[in-house]
Structure 1
Amino acid sequence: MNVRNVYLKRILTLMIAVLTALSLAGTDPATVSAASGVAAPTKVKATNLYTGVRLTWKKPTKDTTFRVYVKTGGKYKKAGTASANKFVYKKAKSGKTYTFRIRAYRKGSRSGYSRTVTKRFVRSLANMEYKGKGYAVLHGNKPNFSDAQVTRARNAYITFGKLDDRGRCTAVTASVSSETLPREERGDISSVHPTGWVSGQGWQRCHLLAFSLGGGNANPRNLITGSAQLNVSGGMWIFEEQVLNYVRQTGNHVLYRVTPVFKGKEPVARGVHMEARSVENAGLQYNVYVFNVMDGYKIDYSTGIVRAKNAAAEENPGGSSHSNAKRTYILNENTKKFHYPSCSAVKRMKPSNRKKVKTSRKSLIQKGYDPCKICEP
């Protein structure tokens, strides 16, 4: 009996060890190479995107596929598969914390689990990826205004948000109408230095509420540091013109809100959230996010420093032409200012004062012309 008991005890000890190992393999994802020789993924990282949590890792070998597992406090569940060393978990809900682990598969064999990575998902426009288009449409292009806000917008008003504790602009909300449109000439705004402003980096002073809609001139609560793509060519101007044209054509009101989107404590906005809705009818509405980017350049949003990604881009900082390069400009022979053809000021210019030329920036300055403060050519 004693021999039998010893034998049973050894078997029991072995079974406990096996069960413990299996349990640890299921819950403790320390990197393990399976007996098959397939190495587990390493250097797993998780970052928040607007659409979900992005996972990246070091791919151990060629011809490998991966399975991603996720849990939110209970058991791990399969989140999906990937053929490359990245995966976006799009079922994440803002405010929830997720733990991930990954397993590699190759030719019928599999690795152990990678080490776990945990991430609290927060859905933020600041995390939206720029993929070459200047703006992204949000929520089916429907703005997030309440019925009470729409009702109030039957009367014209403009509200500039207070600067936050870091001196950054906050949202500007307005009921744009013929009453808010400017009746004076565009003034000098160079005295305002928005957060993140660094001279010589191709930055522009971007109005949240456009001057053409009633945004005024040198208002620190209405100017942010932005690129030419954000301000003119990439998106804001497109949507500002929609509002302006609608108001001029109908005489109606447009409820309008522009919110700068900052990431953490960064002084330079990642982009702006623009919303608009016509009040008296359904003639106009949009809900878009416009990226504050410069193609060919890498922006350090924490400092305002801009660096070229390649030598060719160095010739064209911030999207502005080299001073000796010839291009098309519009001159205002009355104010002695020159503009890009896409500048909003061009449409307000009297035909008798307007002249189209193809020349260099340097040549115009030598002739006594000053660059426009809106498009900053």
Structure 2
Amino acid sequence: MTKKRNNQKKKTNTLYTIIAAIVIIAWGIYSKSDSFNFGQNNSIKTAQRANTPYGGLSKSDYEKLAKLDFKSGDKAYITVNNDKSTLIKNAWKVNKVIYSNLDSLNRTSHSNTAFLERRNVANDNLRVRQFIEPTGWHYNRRNGTQIYNRGHLIAYSVSAGIDQNGQYNPSNQSGDQNNPKNLFTQSAYSNQKVQTIFESKVRKALRENQRVIYQATPVFRGNELMARGINLQAISTSGTLDFNVYLFNVQPGYVFDYNNGRARRDRQMKVSE
């Protein structure tokens, strides 16, 4: 009887060992797969293309970006998909902008996609004062420091002739301004120091007479009213312009409560350029 019990015990232990081995192997496979899809700072190394006529990032990739936490000292932006756009360059057909509707919280949480050409480079002298208050907007200055900007998804500087319905109208040379479908609460640093880097690349390509598809997507976490960041990507029909980045919506010296957009002074908050 004792011998029989010992045999049963050995069989049980063997079964547990086999199960443990399967779990370890499965975890190893998952970890390898995870490391393949994510790079430094958990950025998306390999992205999936959205199922639209012009591509873009998949919903699951935006959800991954929304989970990223910025840590003091990190770089202001990371590359996505090895800095390669998931837009389809051959989708450029007509000069226009596809503006997404606001979501149920009045946020610009979906992509705006622009099909641009040289005539869309705007005259900066035609800019007017902005008055739209996107979700998460607050009083703009603290101790003389500008904290908030009304960030454009599709930059004013590449929207000449585009009306608020996204159609080209040659009489509308002032470009897209005060369009609630094209604005979000963005840190002054992210807008003026970082986003301009990539907008200038788009302008340069347009001035070289290239046609460009440019897409901007603010990324929100859950029901928060201030975006955690924004995905910018562009590709020219020639393929010479091609980038895909995610900008963290952060401000040196301040931290945000993304639930409502309020800023709090924090001298320890550093942003690496």
Shared fold (TM-score greater than 0.5)?
A: yes
User: Residue 215 of structure 2: SS of its match in structure 1?
Assistant: strand
Partner of 1:287: 244
Deviations 1:180-202 (A, max 9, x none): 2335611111x311112232572
Which residue does the alignment assign to 1:237?
A: 196
Q: Does 1:186 align with 2:186?
A: no
Report which of the two structures shows the higher radius of gyration computed on alpha carbons: 1
Report if aligned partners of 2:107, 2:134 keep a CA contact under 8 Å in 1.
yes
Does the CA-based 8 Å contact 1:174-1:256 persist in structure 2? yes
2:187 matches 1:246: no
Q: Paired residue for 2:95, among 134, 140, 156?
A: 156
Q: CA deviation at 1:23?
A: 5.4
Aligned to 1:251, the other structure's residue is in SS state coil
Find the counterpart in structure 2 of residue 263 from structure 1. Answer: 221
Q: How does 1:107-118 map to 2 (within 5 A)?
A: none
Residue 178 of structure 2 is matched in structure 1 by 218
Structure with larger RCO (C-alpha < 8 A, sep 6+) = 2
- 1:15 and 1:307 map into 2 onto residues whose CA distance is 66
Q: Which residue of 1 aligns with 2:4?
A: 12
CA drift of 1:16 comes to: 3.6
In structure 2, give the amino acid aligned to 1:243: V
Cα deviation digits, residues 148-202 of structure 1 (max 9, x gap):
413x1xx42122111112211121111222322335611111x311112232572
Q: How much does 1:306 deviate?
A: 2.2
The alpha-carbon distance between structure 1 residues 177 and 79, as it changes in their structure 2 partners (threshold 3 A), is same
CA distance in 2, matches of 1:149, 1:221: 22
Any conservation in 1 of the 2:100–2:112 contact (CA below 8 Å)? yes
1:138 is displaced (CA, Å) by 2.0
Deviations 1:101-142 (A, max 9, x none): xxxxxxxxxxxxxxxxxxxxx651222354621211222322
Please list, as runs of the form range in 1=range in 2, the aligned pairs for 1:1-377 lying within 5 A after superposition. 8=1, 10-17=2-9, 20=12, 75-77=23-25, 79=27, 89=31, 91-92=33-34, 123=61, 124-130=64-70, 132-150=74-92, 152=93, 155-169=94-108, 170-183=110-123, 185-189=126-130, 191-200=131-140, 202-214=147-159, 216-233=176-193, 235-248=194-207, 250-279=208-237, 281-310=238-267
Change (3 A) 1:90 1:264: farther
- In 2 relative to 1, CA 293–90 (structure 1 residues): closer, same or farther, beyond 3 Å? farther
Using the alignment, how far apart are the partners of 2:212 and 2:232 within structure 1? Answer: 13
Structure 1 counterpart of 2:79, which letter? V
Amino acid at match of 2:148: W
**Unpaired runs of at least 5, structure 1:** 1-7, 28-68, 81-87, 95-121, 319-377
Change (3 A) 1:148 1:262: same
Task: Sort the Cα spacing of 1:147 and 1:180 in 2 relative to 1 into closer, same or farther, 3 A.
Answer: closer
Change (3 A) 1:160 1:78: closer
TM-score (norm 1): 0.51
Q: Which amino acid aligns with 2:5?
A: T
**Size of the alignment, in residue pairs?**
221
For 2:104, the aligned partner's letter is D
User: Of Structure 1 and Structure 2, which has the larger fraction of its residues in strand?
Assistant: 1
Calculate the TM-score normalised by the size of structure 2: 0.68
Cα 1:206/1:140, change in 2 over 3 Å: same
1:90 Cα deviation (Å)? 5.2
Does the C-alpha gap of structure 1 residues 146 and 23 become closer, same or farther in structure 2, counting only changes over 3 Å?
Answer: same
Shift of 1:208: 0.7
Residue matched to 2:168 = none
